[in-house]
Structures are given as C-alpha cells and as structure tokens.
Amino acid sequence: MIRVKDLMKRVVSIERNITIKEAAKIMSKMNIGSLVLVKKDKAIGILTERDIIKNISSLKKKIFSIISKKLIDIELNQNIEDAAELMARHKIKRLLVTEKGKLIGIITATDIIANSDVLNENSFL
C-alpha cells in the first residue's frame, strides 16, 4: 500500500505581502503549481495557478487578498486512496500533508494519477 508520505513533495512557502506577479515568478521558476502561506509552521492559505489566472489583470495585488484560506490536509501515514477520496469529495487538486498538525509537505492529484495503477477503482467515485 502506498502512503501519502511516499508521494508527497516539499512545500514551497511564501510571505503574505508579496504580489501575485512575484508569486507567479516563483512558481514558474520552480515549476510548481502552488505556494503555501505559512505562519509559525502552520499553513494559513494556498495560492494556486488558478488563483493567478483568475487575477491576471491585477498582478500588483498582494497574494493575501486572493489566496484560498479553506485548507484541507491529510496525515502523512494515510494511504493515497484516502487522499484521492478527499480530493474528489472537496473538488480540489492539492492536499497539505501534516504530521501531528504540523505542515510537512503537499500531495497533488497529479502525484496520485501517476500512481493510479495501485488505486482501488472506487477511489474516484
């Protein structure tokens, strides 16, 4: 059984006062689809490619005004079927990975799809 910790990636965090344009440059340079706003080892928001596209005409705006503050997380020892089910239920593409409440990584739908051969066929229903 593959666990979330086997597929998760390092989270890239940002400060709340950077602009959308600055965030987009970071994402482009690092070839990632999201950035997490962290305060004292706790995630308080996530900025995704979609957020940037929706606000493309306001690139000088600070990211704090557009980030998603409703965050869904998963414990690192849960299996990837649990992660897939959470993503499907909440209609999201990313889950923050935690260990005892502390942010330690991120797992994406792409990570899960790349390993879909080990998923139970009912995971996405």
Q: Per-residue pLDDT tens for 6-15?
A: 999 999 999 8
Give pTM, 2 decimals. 0.86
Q: Are 116 and 12 in contact (CB under 8 A)?
A: no
Mean pLDDT of the residues in the chain? 91
pLDDT of residue 120: 59
Task: Identify each DSSP E strand in 1-125 by its residue range.
Answer: 13-14, 34-39, 42-48, 73-75, 94-99, 102-108
3-state secondary structure of 55: coil
Give the Cα separation of 122 and 125 in Å (integer): 5
